[in-house]
Structures are given as structure tokens and as C-alpha cells.
Amino acid sequence: MSRQQWARVTTLGRWLPWALTALIPLAFLAIFFVLPVFGLVSRGFHDGDTWTLSNVTAVLSSTRTWRIIRQTLLFAVSGTCCTVLLGVPGAYVLYRLRLPGQRVWRVMASVPFVLPSVVVGVAFKSLLAPNGLLGFLELDGSPVAIIAALVFFNYSVVVRTVGAFWAGLDVKQVEAARSLGASPFRAFTTVTLRALTPAIMSAAALVFLFCASAFGVVLVLGGSRYGTVETEIWYQTTALLNLPAAAALSIVQLVIVVVSLSLSNVARTHQERALRLAGRTTERSLTLTDVPALVVTVLTMGLLLVAPLATLLWRSLQTRNGFGFGNYALLATTANGSLSVSVWQAALNSLLTGAVAMLLAVTLGAAVSYLLSRRPTSIWGHALLRSLDSAFMLPLGVSAVTVGFGFLITLNRPPLDLRTSWVLIPIAQAIVALPLVVRTLLPTWRAIDPKLWEAAATLGATEGRILRTIDLPLLLRSLGLAVGFAFATSLGEFGATSFLSRPDRPTLPVVVYKLISRPGVDNLGMALAAAVVLALLTGVVMAVAELLSKGEESGW
Amino acid sequence: MSETGLSQGTGLELRSVSVCYGDANAVSQVSFQVSPGEIVALLGASGSGKSSLLRGVAGLEPLAAGQVLWDGQDLVKTPTHLRGFVLMFQDSQLFPHLNVSGNIAYGINRLPTAARQARVNELLALVGLPGYGKRRIAELSGGQAQRVALARSLAPNPRMLLLDEPLSSLDRGLRERLVAELGTIIRSSGTAAIYVTHDQSEAFTLADRVGVLQDGQLLQFATPDELRRHPASDYVAEFVHA
């Protein structure tokens, strides 16, 4: 090594990369999230000339609003409770027991989360329709259908969060309790359940958030009778053109979101603290006491996860001329002119915007995760990182509808007139996917022992080389997953896209919704076939991401 | 053998070094020197501040006060990766995604491939693990992992080797065998070293001079012989004869 290498580097050289890593994602968040949301909120308090509370009071004094708020909370609370009650046994079965085909089961359970909301809505509709498999239950258009669809979506959130934590729980704790004379039940309630509580709470808060801001499924399944604040914002904007009312409703939504997000934040920090204590892990083989959990899980996965999708596929193959691929052949048409482009063209649009959104979300998400994974020694640095952490989680809760609507009313004048630009859609989708990318990368990044960085630094590696040679290889799997998540959610994103999509370049979810809301056998058949295509695209994206990230790392 | 090991300079000098964690003073006002090629042991109970001091020298902890000098030049503002002090950890901290060769070659990535491979083989032989280059890290035993960690630390010909209780995670028999071997390897490389330990027999076997630390204070800094014969305080006497 040459003597020059020991030379000092300037302070600027050390701080500039850090500052850029922080500033670029922050600027993006400020322009494409804070600005639109702020613009929307201020629109709710402003009637064009002066600041006023009249919009908000008008909305809050209408009985319709309170009915919608009641329904939103009802869906969110019952959706969350059912998901947790079904998901915890699922987490046990999929992460704690040794079962044949364990990997397949786990992938199966996690597929619904990335499925486009429109697809899920259409799938449940076809399952519960009078001529569907479960048509005799007469649940079509009922709140139960909506809650079942919400459980379908969020089941994997609970299973993954609780399961991953459960798998890492040290069995010695339970063994210690048993050896002290505790029955299996007492050991479970006093040791295991206690340890799992933060993970369950964290998952529940997240599920509540997703349920409270559900849009696509409610729009498809609720019809005109049932709605949430989200669908109401959409209805007020697109059907009644009542922007002040929609803005006021967005404020209501924001309050619900901020409250549940701060609850989830509290639970999450507890969980990460606890995770560091995790020790030896073991999967055990099946015993008689596992039968109830196994039955619940098999029933849930069969009736709730597999049945809707199987029905969707089955019914997409039924045409007016009998069984066949007729509906898929129609995808090359514009449904007798009711669509502006063919469904295949819309699928291509979706892939293009999804790819751009994915690139944006992963780049920014990686930068944010890098910052948040550092462990600053100073109290100030610590506080700064904590607030950054919360800031980048905000889009998770602030509804996609609010983001899309906000874009529409704020990014429409110079210097940023993007209303007519197609980049608006991938940007909105990236904002929605960003928290997901961060949540996928960050736990792995935080799990890397800082001593590995220190070892590399004392061996002469610069910050950049450490990032390339230590962090990147260890993160590869999570990075692949983040790419998959970002691409898949962008493909299926409906809330923000439904505001921003332009007639000549619709995306696939927008087309599916258009088709399902039109009468006619052919339209329904095309909608089902298009939903299958969308589900397949999403599934392929996730599978490819899983495969690409699984490669065995070589030596050097 | 090593360019830096044969340096004619004055080596390392610590002047009134203090390290703090928040309000707690982990190390206060410690001064001593390490000559080129010398091995110094820092001996102390857990919590005495010896590891914090080592991290301060490596640049991994900022100093609350004092100076760390190499050949008279202050290094306080030099970032860790430019100091040329390699730290070897208690729990090896080998990079799990690289194999044994990849780990040893990590600090000599600028050498041409052939020279790098030759150096890796030379070090594998030095630490008694010839032919282990292709092994995965997960396949190594605790003792083997520490040998690889030592090889990785020596590969770039560091100006100084900082060892943080490198043997304390091993069982007693292995530890006693390795400590003598470690001394021989470090001496044959000619590298100056600071060896942190809580075990007085390790310190006395390896070191030319030993510093005894208590509550962040350096109680005495002397040769093993002198420490045994003229301990500066009852605490030192008790610790040395434990």
C-alpha cells in the first residue's frame, strides 16, 4: 500500500454523498407527496377567496358522511379482527411446523397481498354471484363479502409478520417455562403469546391501515350501497365534481391514518428491539395438538384464498358459446368501442409504467433504507433518523386516492405542469410502493452486524466499497423481493391511477374496472379474462423476482 | 517482510486519550506508546474501557479528548479506512457471503490477481490452514475462523494490528495452544500490535509490555517482569497474580 493512501480526505468529500442520499428522496417526497397532500388539505379549508371551515363543517354535518365513516371503521375493525384471528394460527402452521411442501404453502399464502385490488374484487364477485360456487350464501353485495375480501388481502401480512417473528423465537424460553411446571397451554399464553404480542400488534395496525384505506375491492364489491371514505372521495370527485367535499373527506381520512400509523410505529419499534433477542430456531413435526391450527389454516387457504381465484379462472373460460377461450380472444378488441384501446395495449401500458415506477421506488427506497440502517452515535442523529423513518412511512397510510387527487389539483400549473404528462402515473405508483420497498429492505439491512462494516473499514475499504462488497451481496435477496413488490403493486395500483390515467393510455386495472361496471355478458367475460391476465402478470413478476434473488453467492 | 513493519518511525503514541458514551466516561486520559514491531497488551476486567480504547485508536469511536499519533502525525481526523490499523474482533466477523480466500483477499483488492492469490496462499500457510481457500465460512470451526480472521488482518501489511479479545470465545485448551502460535505469527510479520484481553496469562505470554486498566484509567504500563515485581497498587498486584 502506498503512503498517499493514508492521506486525509476533506470533510466535504465525506458529507456530500450522505447529504445527496438524504436530499434526493426527501425532495421527491416533498414535491410528489407533501405538496399534493398539503394542496388537497388546504383546498378543504379554502373556498377560493378566504380560509373557511364551512367545507369541513358541511361535510361533517351530513348524515351521509357519518354513515360512510361508520362503514369505514366497521370494515376496518372487523377486517382486522378476522385477519388476526385467522392469521395467527396460519403463522404457526406455516412457520413453526415442518410440513411437506412448506415453501409452496408460504408462497401461496403471500400471493394475495400483491394481487391487484380490482382482480380480488372481481374474483370475490364471481365466487359470490348467484351462479357462483358460494352463490347459495347470498352474500353478493353484502358487507361480509367486503370483509372477506379484506381478509384475503391482508392474511399474508399477519402470516408473514407474525410467522417470521415466531420462527425466530428462542424455544428455550418455552422449554424453561415447561420445566418449571407450566402446562403447554400456560407456557403458550405466558411466554409465546407474550413474546408475539408486539409482532401481532404491529401486523394488526398495518392491516387496519390497509383496510381503512381499501379502495379497489370496496368499489367493486360495495356497489352503491357500501363505501369507505376512500370510495366516497372518488365518488365526490368523479361523479359529483364536488372538490371541496372530497378535500374535506381526505382530511378525515388523514386523521384516521395518522392515528393508526402512530400506533403501528409504537408497536414496530418494540418489535425490532425484541427481534435482536431472538435465538435458536427450530421447526417441529406435526403432533395431535396442532390439528386445530392446521384445520383453520387449511380451511382459510382453501375457501378464502384458493376458491375465489379458481372461480375467477373457471368463469373467465365460460363464454356465451360455452366453454373456451372466447373471452381471451376478445382482449384484442376494444369491446365494441367502449374502451379507447385494446386490453393487450392496456397491459403493455401497465408493464411500461410499472417498470418505471419500480425503478423509481427501488432507487429511492434503497437510498432511504441505507440512511435509516445507520446507527448514529449522537442523540441528534438518532432523532433525525427516527423522524425520517416516520416520514417515509406516511405514503403507506395516506390513501392512494388522496395522492392521485392531490396530484391532479397541485401539479397542474407552472413550474410543475405535469397534468398532461404520462410520468405522473409512475411517480404516483412509486410513492405508493416506496414504503413497501423500505419495509422490505430495512429489516435485513438493520440485521447486518455493524462490526462487519467496521472490519471492512479497518481493512481499508471506503464507504462506497463497503456498500458494494458487504451490504449489496447480503441484501441481494431482499432487494429482489423489493423489486418484485414494487413492480407488482405498481402493476395493480388502482387508487391513484384511476385519477391520473388518461383516456388514450389506460392501464390494465383501469380497463378491468371499466369493463366490470358495464352491463353485458361479453363485457363481464372480458373483465374476468383481463383480471386473469393481470393476476398472471403480477404472479410472474413476483416469481421472477424470487428466482433471480435466490442465486447462490459465489466466492469472489 | 512488510514495508510498514520495518518503519523507522516512532510508531504509535496515545496522548491523554478519552472516550465517552453519552455522559459516561469509558476511557479517561490514557497515554502510552507502542514502538514499531512491539506487542502491547491491555489488561483489564470487563467494563474497564479496554475495548473502547481500542475502538478509539481504530477510529471507530470518536475521541472525547486527546490525540492518536503515528510517527508524530495526528490521526484524529483520519477516517478508519485510511489509518492502516486493522481490527480483529472477538467473534471473527468474517464476511459470510465470501469464502475463506475472499475474506483474506478483502484488504488487498488492489493487488493484481496473481499476486493477490499468492499472498492469500502465503497467509493460509502462515496460519496453518493451507488448502482452505475454497471453504465456506459456515464450515469453519471457532478456532479456524479466528485463524482466517488473523490471516485477513495481516494480508494488507497493516501498520498496526488491533486485537480485541481474539481468543476469548474459544475453549480453554484451544486458547492456550493458539496464544503462543498467535504471538509467533504476529512477531514473524513484524507488525506492531495492541492486544486487549482480560486474561493475565495471555497478556504475559504475548506482550512486550502490558497496560493495566481499571474504570477507564491506565493504572500501570510496564514489562510483565516489572509488573510482577513492582505492582503499582494492590489492584494491579491482585490482577497480575490472579
Q: What is the mean pLDDT of residues A400-415?
A: 79
Residue A479 has pLDDT above 80, yes or no: yes
What is the predicted pLDDT for the residue at A199?
84
Q: Which three cell numbers stand for residue A223?
A: 356497489
Q: Report the residue of chain A nearest B78, measured CA to CA.
A: A8
Between B67 and A234, name the one with better pLDDT: B67
Best mutation target, A8, A14, A15, A556, to test chain B (most B CBs within 10 A): A556
Question: CA A236, CA A238: separation in Å to the nearest integer?
Answer: 6
Put simply, the answer to whether B98 touches A556 (Cβ < 8 Å) is yes
Give me the residues of A, 437-466, that contact B with CB < 8 A: 449, 451-452, 454-463, 465
Best mutation target, A452, A459, A469, A475, to test chain B (most B CBs within 10 A): A459
pLDDT bucket at A416, cuts 50 / 70 / 90 = low
Q: Distance (Å) from the C-alpha of residue B154 to the closest C-alpha of chain A? A: 9
What is the predicted pLDDT for the residue at B1?
39
Asked if the C-beta of A302 comes within 8 angstroms of chain B's C-beta atoms, the answer is no
Alpha-helical (H) ranges within A115-228 are 117-128, 143-167, 171-179, 184-187, 193-212, 216-222
Asked if the C-beta of A383 comes within 8 angstroms of chain B's C-beta atoms, the answer is no
What is the predicted pLDDT for the residue at A38?
85
Q: Distance (Å) from the C-alpha of residue B165 to the closest C-alpha of chain A? A: 14
User: Considering only CB atoms, which chain B residues are within 8 Å of A460?
Assistant: 81-82, 84, 107, 156
Q: What is the DSSP letter of A189?
A: I
Q: Which three cell numbers stand for residue B122?
A: 502465503
User: Considering only CB atoms, which chain A residues are within 8 Å of B156?
Assistant: 1, 459-460
- The architecture that CATH gives domain A53-316 is Orthogonal Bundle (1.10)
SS3 at position A163: helix
Residue B43: closest CA among B226, B231, B219: B219
Put simply, the answer to whether B106 touches A459 (Cβ < 8 Å) is yes
What is the predicted pLDDT for the residue at B29?
93
Residue A19 has pLDDT above 80, yes or no: no
Of A1, A465, A474, the CB nearest to B157: A1
Of B61, B82, B99, the CB nearest to A555: B99
pLDDT bucket at B3, cuts 50 / 70 / 90 = very low
Question: CA A495, CA A492: separation in Å to the nearest integer?
Answer: 9
pLDDT bucket at A7, cuts 50 / 70 / 90 = very low
What is the predicted pLDDT for the residue at A554?
32
Question: CA A459, CA B154: separation in Å to the nearest integer?
Answer: 9
pLDDT bucket at A549, cuts 50 / 70 / 90 = low
What is the predicted pLDDT for the residue at A2?
35
Q: Report the residue of chain A nearest B133, measured CA to CA.
A: A555
What is the predicted pLDDT for the residue at A320?
80
Assigned CATH topology for domain B37-61+77-240: Rossmann fold (3.40.50)
What is the predicted pLDDT for the residue at A507?
92
Question: CA B110, CA B71: separation in Å to the nearest integer?
Answer: 25
pLDDT bucket at A272, cuts 50 / 70 / 90 = low
Average the pLDDT over each of A211-220, A272-281, A340-349, B146-155 and give the range with the smallest value.
A272-281
Residue A456 has pLDDT above 90, yes or no: yes
A244, A47 contact by CB (below 8 A): yes
A245, A62 contact by CB (below 8 A): no
Question: CA A312, CA A528: separation in Å to the nearest integer?
Answer: 7
**ipTM above 0.90?**
no
Put simply, the answer to whether B93 touches A469 (Cβ < 8 Å) is no
What is the predicted pLDDT for the residue at A398?
72
Give, in order, the Cα–Cα distances in Å from A222 to each of A137, A146, A217, A375.
17, 7, 8, 46
Q: What are the tens digits of pLDDT across the range B185-242?
A: 999 888 999 999 999 999 998 999 999 999 999 999 999 999 999 999 999 998 887 6
Burial of A179 (0-12, 13-18, 19+ CB in 10 A): exposed
Q: Report the residue of chain B nearest A452, measured CA to CA.
A: B93
What is the predicted pLDDT for the residue at B85?
93
User: Considering only CB atoms, which chain B residues are within 8 Å of A14?
Assistant: 79
Q: What is the mean pLDDT of residues A311-338?
A: 84
Residue A375 has pLDDT above 80, yes or no: no
SS3 at position B202: helix
Q: What is the mean pLDDT of residues B167-174?
A: 85
What is the predicted pLDDT for the residue at B12?
94
Average the pLDDT over each of A52-56, A295-299, B63-67, B140-144 and give the range with the smallest value.
A52-56
What is the predicted pLDDT for the residue at B144?
92
Put simply, the answer to whether A460 touches B99 (Cβ < 8 Å) is no
Question: CA A400, CA A422: separation in Å to the nearest integer?
Answer: 17
What is the predicted pLDDT for the residue at A463?
85
Specify the amino acid at residue A473.
Answer: P
What is the predicted pLDDT for the residue at A382?
77
Q: What is the mean pLDDT of residues A193-198?
A: 84
Best mutation target, A458, A466, A472, A474, to test chain B (most B CBs within 10 A): A458
Class of the domain covering A12-46+326-556: mainly alpha
What is the predicted pLDDT for the residue at A13?
54
What is the predicted pLDDT for the residue at A267?
66
Question: CA B59, CA B63: separation in Å to the nearest integer?
Answer: 8
Asked if the C-beta of A556 comes within 8 angstroms of chain B's C-beta atoms, the answer is yes
Share of chain A above pLDDT 90, in %: 19
Q: Which three cell numbers stand for residue B138?
A: 459456515
Asked if the C-beta of A10 comes within 8 angstroms of chain B's C-beta atoms, the answer is no
Q: What is the mean pLDDT of residues A413-442?
A: 83
Of A451, A465, A556, the CB nearest to B101: A556
Q: Report the residue of chain B nearest A460, measured CA to CA.
A: B81
What is the predicted pLDDT for the residue at A84?
95
User: Domain map of chain B by residue range?
Assistant: 37-61+77-240
What is the predicted pLDDT for the residue at A397?
67
Q: What are the tens digits of pLDDT across the range B142-160?
A: 889 999 999 999 999 999 9
Q: What are the tens digits of pLDDT across the range B35-90?
A: 999 999 999 998 899 999 999 999 988 899 999 999 999 998 888 899 999 999 98
Task: Look at chain B and count its residues.
Answer: 242
Put simply, the answer to whether A555 touches B89 (Cβ < 8 Å) is no
Concatenate the DSSP letters of all residues of A273-330 into one string: HHHTT------B---GGGHHHHHHHHHIIIIIIIHHHHHHHHHHTEETTEESSHHHHG
Question: CA A154, CA A75: separation in Å to the nearest integer?
Answer: 13
Residue A553 has pLDDT above 50, yes or no: no
Specify the amino acid at residue A324.
Answer: G
What is the predicted pLDDT for the residue at A75?
93
Q: What are the tens digits of pLDDT across the range B4-17?
A: 444 468 899 999 99
Residue A385: CB partners within 8 Å, gap ≥ 6?
Answer: A371, A372, A374, A376
Of A379, A461, A555, the CB nearest to B102: A555
Pairs of CB atoms within 8 A across A/B: 90
Whether residue A184 is preceded by a cis peptide bond, meaning omega within 30 degrees of 0, is no
Question: CA B97, CA A470: separation in Å to the nearest integer?
Answer: 8
User: Considering only CB atoms, which chain B residues are within 8 Å of A462?
Assistant: 81
Q: What is the mean pLDDT of residues A493-510?
A: 87
Asked if the C-beta of A324 comes within 8 angstroms of chain B's C-beta atoms, the answer is no
Q: Distance (Å) from the C-alpha of residue A473 to the closest C-alpha of chain B? A: 7
Q: What are the tens digits of pLDDT across the range A125-149?
A: 888 888 777 778 778 778 899 999 9
Q: Distance (Å) from the C-alpha of residue A469 to the closest C-alpha of chain B? A: 9
SS3 at position A494: coil
Put simply, the answer to whether B83 touches A6 (Cβ < 8 Å) is yes
Q: Report the residue of chain A nearest B151, measured CA to CA.
A: A459
CA trace torsion B134, B138, B139, B142 (10° rounding): 120
- Give CA angle at A320 (A316, A324), nearest 5°: 50
Q: What is the DSSP letter of B31?
A: E
Give, in order, the Cα–Cα distances in Å from B34 to each of A126, B13, B189.
79, 6, 16
Range(s) within chain A of domains with CATH label 1.10.3720.10: 12-46+326-556, 53-316
